[in-house]
Amino acid sequence: MTNYLKQIEPVDVRYLIDLKEVKDIVADMLGEGNSVVSIRVSYDETDDETGAELIRPMVELEEISGLTEADRHAVLSSGLNLDAPFDNGDQVFRTIFGPSHVITAATEDEDGSFFTVEVPYEEYRNL
């Protein structure tokens, strides 16, 4: 790294996170509720009102067997919901990256699928 690079202030920090890493974080967020659901991470690509591509992560939680009220409470206390995959995805990414993150790409290659996520440098620096 040169001294010149130290003179430049970055604007954004870019992360690559694969879907398995997201799934592992969701399992950790669920705590005890992890044992009563299966986790599936995916995404949907749509266009916003301006025509720009919008990538929405989805975290689907499917009950493994009949949930008891205690099991349901364990899942809900994590901040996630059994019936809201898009809300779950938004919540997970806010928890990981903060409120100002932007998912700029979802890529599938021979190593699997991953998200490219940008976070403002100021937020990254203040972690």
Q: Is residue 84 part of a domain?
A: yes
Centre a 10 Å sphere on the Cβ of residue 76 and count the other Cβ atoms it contains.
Answer: 12
Whether residue 4 is contained in a domain is answered as: no
Number of domains in the chain: 1
Asked if the structure places residue 56 within a domain, the reply is yes
pLDDT by 10s per residue, the chain, length 127: 678 878 888 899 999 999 999 999 999 999 989 999 999 999 999 988 888 899 999 999 999 878 888 888 889 999 999 999 999 999 999 999 999 999 999 999 998 999 999 999 998 888 7
- Asked if the structure places residue 97 within a domain, the reply is yes
Does residue 113 fall inside a structural domain? yes
The pTM assigned to this predicted structure is: 0.88
Angle between helices 85-97 and 19-30 (to 10 degrees): 90
H or E segment and range at residue 61: strand 53-63
Burial letters 102-122, b for 16+ CB under 10 A, else e: ebeebeeeeeeebbebbbbee
6 located within any domain: no
Confirm whether 21 is domain-assigned: yes
Distance CA(61)–CA(26), nearest Å, equals 10
Domain region containing 92: 11-125
